[in-house]
Structure 1
Amino acid sequence: MLTANSRATNAQYPDELQSILSIRAADESGAWLSNWDQISSSATPLWNLPDAAAALSVARVSLKDEGFRSPLGSFKALGAPIALVRLILRHWHAHSLNPSGLLRGQYAEMLSNLTVISATDGNHGKSLAAAARDIGCQCVIVLHANVSVEREQAIAFYGAKIIRIAGGYDESVEHAAKLAAQNGWHVVSDTSYEGYETIPRDVMQGYGVIAAEALKQLASSTPFQPVTHVFLQGGVGGLAAGVASYLWEHSGAQRPRFVVVEPQQADCLYQSAIVGYATKATGSVDSVMAGLACGETSPLAWKILERCVDYFMTIQDEDAVTAMRSLAAGSDRDVPLVVGESGAAGFAGVSVLMQNPSLAKQVGLGPDSHVLVINTEGATAPGVYRDLVGEVVESVLARQSEWQKSHEH
């Protein structure tokens, strides 16, 4: 399903949104993160996929691969650590703490009694747990019923205390807030709600690093071809807001068209576009795209998205699985890629639209289009990946390595 957003504008990035997300804050976050050993010291790859572009009948497909961002396996490694650092800087403002030193554990003794808590579908919680471990504070993670044991174990590896609840993601968010109030803990969530916006804002600031890198990589590509469309994963809206706001501020009125993609049964952003305010999903929310299985839009992210996202669309779970398999297979000119369930959503969205000429025309997709998609995660649940793709991660990576060797110039 596809809906146009009548509130989207091609004007310059509004001054009133600068206090939420800005290039300045995103670049500052990136500088701090460059000192954390859980983040790659180099930019993540921007792959050109000419055979995919030909199959989709567009001029070019560029894929920004966040599976290479961190041992944590996803773009979430950019958000939770920055939110935790900024939280500590606010509460210990009299100590003149060094942000990079925080991530290296320089103040661990002073922060040993600090406890942070968050609900998660997996990747945000894992990143928060890793950051808390390295900074030296305590971490509690609340998991809902649909989070796999594999993802739970990955979070526990970083020393977090795990609390399981019945229900879905939104219930886990409520439970985390309740425990925080009872125990004097600090919620470090990637979704906002009434009275809670500062930390989700900080999380989204970290995601601007993706856009900053992509812009530099695109500018140096030969031949240079401006991006016309950016397909972004939905969820609560944090990634889409962090990336779109950076690109919007950078390009102003010449910004590309933004399309947000989410599971049909977790369509909170799609429904928000229809009613004109941040609202809830209409479906069961449970999706194979676990990172996007969110039932309620972040009101803070919506302040950005309602002004710049041109189209919102939903896809089926099988669309994401088909995209995962296609990207894993690779081709003569396209490198085989390990793309997780949620990571495949943007590419799947392009594929779904190009199968329907009238919808493709509505979005302005055609033979001159340069499409940017983001693989937001690698195989963060290797067992799930194997079951969906029919191939283990190591096999895809081996073919990727062989492809790269054969294409060295």
Structure 2
Amino acid sequence: MLINNPRAQRSEYALRDILSIAQADESRAWLSTWPRLNPAPTPLYSLAHAAAHFGIASLHVKDESQRSALGSFKALGAPVALLRLVTRLWHTHRLDPRALFEGQHASLLAHLTVISATDGNHGKALAAAARSLGCQCVIVLHAQVSAEREWAIASEGARIMRIDGNYDASVAEAARLAHVNGWHVVSDTSYDGYTEIPRDVMQGYGTIPAEIIEQTASARDTPAFTHVLLQGGVGGLAAGVASYFCEWHGARRPHFIVVEPHQADCLYQSALAGHAAHATGSVDSIMAGLACGAASPLAWRVLEPCIDTFMTISDDEAIAAMRVLSDPSTNDVPIVAGESGAAGFAGLAALMRERSLAALAGLNSQSRVLVINTEGATAPALYEELTGQHPEDVLARQRTISHLA
């Protein structure tokens, strides 16, 4: 399914009260002091053979699987949101971000407990950040989160609480537990009366477009890309990335396409309704990080004027994209992309198979396309089951080809 957004605008960016380059760059500076993140920007790979196959001018993949050992872009959101929460709670202490990340104020934070619902990656990033700072972390997991992902979160020191139901039920339970126990919710989705921390999470994601602009030397009036495909979920990543590019490039911004699962189409439905809406499907996609039933109202305020096209894909299309990226059988660099990480590439493949859909999205032989691999093999056993390859073997081929290039 595909819909062009009738409310999309090409004008000067006017949402700095929600997300701004200034706040994103400050978040990036703070994150640079966290030892759990790799110091270098994540790679921006050019896939020339895939571009030729699709019939477009160029295709680049920003590989967030290499952001840290945590394996996903979520390592940019939860830590900076936790940091900003702590500095607000102890605003008279003038706490230094580096000192916080190094655990120098662990005794001060020992009785602070943060909690969040997650499909996996956000919870793991929050648990890792809480461990660094020295506070306690509780993570609520719904019935569809795998035991493999539960173990990964627990290994970062979080206390796990399981519930029946889906992601939206876990969000509600996290809010309830926080209220009862005096804990603090650090969530990547907003809801009534809860917007400050989700905004902080989204600002952390601004690191991705900031690096891309530097890596491509993009001037304000000459974007490196004509099209950017972004994963859906509750909308946080798409809002964090699109807002930065929209403020930087203004009316010359790229064409943004949001991709989400057929059965978790809350952003597609929001585009139809003109307001943050709920998904119409079962919300049980193999793309676990995108299996969200309700759009974040705060993210939607940014997406409504900034996103041009909304589309949905099947689980089978995501799995096929994982396989192509892992073993392209060409000279393109192999990439370890998890189920959600491959969604942008899968969306592009689906569009280019149906030229009428490609035309609706403005894609043609002159298009310069960017997709973001938002996660690596965050569930390694599942990755091997779906692709037939061990992630370490893919990474070994990646290192060989990157070295030869």
TM-score, structure 1 normalization:
0.97
1:245: Cα distance to partner?
A: 0.1
Percent identity between the two aligned chains: 63
- Aligned residue for 2:268? 270
- Aligned residue for 1:88? 86
- Aligned residue for 1:174? 172
2:101 & 2:224 partners in 1: Cα distance? Answer: 36
1:404: Cα distance to partner?
A: 2.2
Mapping 1:120-139, distance limit 5 Å: 120-139=118-137
Q: Counterpart of 1:109 in 2: which secondary structure?
A: helix
2:27 & 2:349 partners in 1: Cα distance? Answer: 33
Query: Which of 334, 337, 353 is matched with 2:335 structurally?
Result: 337
1:41: Cα distance to partner?
A: 0.3
Change (3 A) 1:225 1:239: closer
1:225·1:370 contact (CA, 8 Å) conserved in 2? no
1:268 & 1:56 partners in 2: Cα distance? Answer: 28
- Aligned residue for 2:68? 70
CA RMSD of aligned residues (A): 1.1
Does 1:293 pair with 2:291?
yes
Find runs of 4+ consecutive structure 1 residues off by over 6 angstroms: none
- Aligned residue for 2:183? 185
- Aligned residue for 1:141? 139
Query: Which of 91, 106, 118 is matched with 1:108 structurally?
Result: 106
1:51·1:331 contact (CA, 8 Å) conserved in 2? no
Matched residue type, 1:260: V
1:226 & 1:306 partners in 2: Cα distance? Answer: 23
1:395: Cα distance to partner?
A: 1.4
Q: Counterpart of 2:138 in 1: which secondary structure?
A: strand
Query: Which of 231, 234, 250 is matched with 1:233 structurally?
Result: 231
- Aligned residue for 1:13? 13
- Aligned residue for 1:392? 390
1:225 & 1:76 partners in 2: Cα distance? Answer: 25
Matched residue type, 1:334: D
Matched residue type, 1:39: L
1:82·1:203 contact (CA, 8 Å) conserved in 2? yes
Matched residue type, 1:268: C
- Aligned residue for 2:250? 252
Matched residue type, 1:120: T
2:326 & 2:223 partners in 1: Cα distance? Answer: 26
2:205·2:241 contact (CA, 8 Å) conserved in 1? yes
Q: Deviations over 1:228-280 (max 9, x none)?
A: 00000000000000000000000000000000000000000000000000010
- How many correspondences in the alignment? 403
1:226 & 1:180 partners in 2: Cα distance? Answer: 44
Matched residue type, 2:256: F
TM-score, structure 2 normalization:
0.98
2:322·2:339 contact (CA, 8 Å) conserved in 1? yes
Q: Which structure 1 residue ranges, 5 or more long, are not aligned?
A: none
1:66: Cα distance to partner?
A: 0.2
- Aligned residue for 2:155? 157
1:229·1:259 contact (CA, 8 Å) conserved in 2? yes
2:264·2:290 contact (CA, 8 Å) conserved in 1? yes
1:189 & 1:290 partners in 2: Cα distance? Answer: 16
1:357 & 1:72 partners in 2: Cα distance? Answer: 37
2:218·2:224 contact (CA, 8 Å) conserved in 1? no
- Aligned residue for 1:328? 326
1:405: Cα distance to partner?
A: 3.0
1:383: Cα distance to partner?
A: 0.6
Query: Which of 311, 315, 318 is matched with 1:317 structurally?
Result: 315
Q: Counterpart of 1:285 in 2: which secondary structure?
A: coil
Q: Deviations over 1:73-120 (max 9, x none)?
A: 000000000110100111100111112211111110011000000000
1:24 & 1:133 partners in 2: Cα distance? Answer: 28
Q: Which structure 2 residue ranges, 5 or more long, are not aligned?
A: none
1:330: Cα distance to partner?
A: 2.8
